[in-house]
Amino acid sequence: MLRGARIAPLLIAVALTGCGPFGDDETTTQQTAAGCASAERPQAREGKTAKPKPGRAVKEGEAVSAVVRTSCGEFEIELDTEGSPKTANSFAYLVERGFYDGLWFHRIEPGFVIQGGDPLGSGLGGPDYHVTEKPPFDQEYRRGTVAMAKTEAEPRGRSGSQFFIVTATDAGLNADFAVLGQVSTGIDIVERIGELGGEGGTPVQVVLIESIRLRRG
């Protein structure tokens, strides 16, 4: 059976509230993993944005990377502005508005994916709009691929703000998820984060997204 059988929580975006050590609204300081700073679970917040649809943030084909600073270290995502211009632009639009700053990786499945970008912190949140950009049917989701999460009911390529990063050699997913880009530096940091998952993808330690900033050129 393909590993894609494991994607149900990713597709359905099952809420982690009530599951595992971070199942309530209390902030808890956890024992830190090597290389990770101590952090508390952020409070849920509204996912509103400045406009009902994303404005222009990056040009199609423009060389742009997203520098992701986390409580476990920093990594960089090369945005696929050529192959996925709408998806990359939407992500960059949110980045420029500080949407991701202070959120956390609410879902971590060792050997599969890490997932973040939800202002509610439960797996059910997003901005007040979506974009749709279908990936090619032969799209593969391999180690370091960054793609956008969606619910099972949504069409191929639909995305809001939640993104996931593949830590498996091959996640075995169907070509349903819009591709944002590829981790270009710091894959060791991504894998460090990927070790901090527990039962059902519930993190055993809070990993904050301290900031995301665009790097052009």
**pLDDT, position 10:** 52
**pLDDT, position 3:** 39
Statement: residue 215 has pLDDT above 60: yes
Q: What is the pLDDT of residues 150-192, one digit of tens each?
A: 999 999 999 999 999 999 999 999 999 999 999 999 999 999 9
Q: Which amino acid is at 67?
A: V
- Three-class secondary structure assignment of the chain: CCHHHHHHHHHHCCCCCCCHHHCCCCCCCCCCCCCCCCCCCCCCCCCCCCCCCCCCCCCCCCCEEEEEEECCEEEEEEECCCCCHHHHHHHHHHHHCCCCCCEECCEEECCCEEEECCCCCCCCCCCCCCEECCCCCCCCCECCEEEECCCCCCCCCEECCCEEEECCCECCCCCCCCEEEEEEECHHHHHHHHCCECHHHCECCCCEEEEEEEEEC
**65-216: what fold?**
Cyclophilin (2.40.100)
- Using a 10 angstrom Cβ sphere, with 0-12 exposed, 13-18 middle and 19 or more buried, the burial of residue 152 is exposed
Q: What is the pLDDT of residues 18-62, one digit of tens each?
A: 333 333 433 334 456 778 999 999 999 988 876 778 999 999 999
**pLDDT, position 28:** 37
> Could you tell me whether strands 131-132 and 145-148 are parallel, antiparallel, or unpaired per DSSP bridges?
unpaired
> How far is the C-alpha of 155 from the C-alpha of 170, rounded, in Å?
23
Distances (CA, A) of 39 to 27, 70, 102, 200, 201: 9, 10, 11, 21, 18
pTM score: 0.87
Q: How far is CA 39 from the centre of its chain?
A: 18
**pLDDT, position 24:** 40
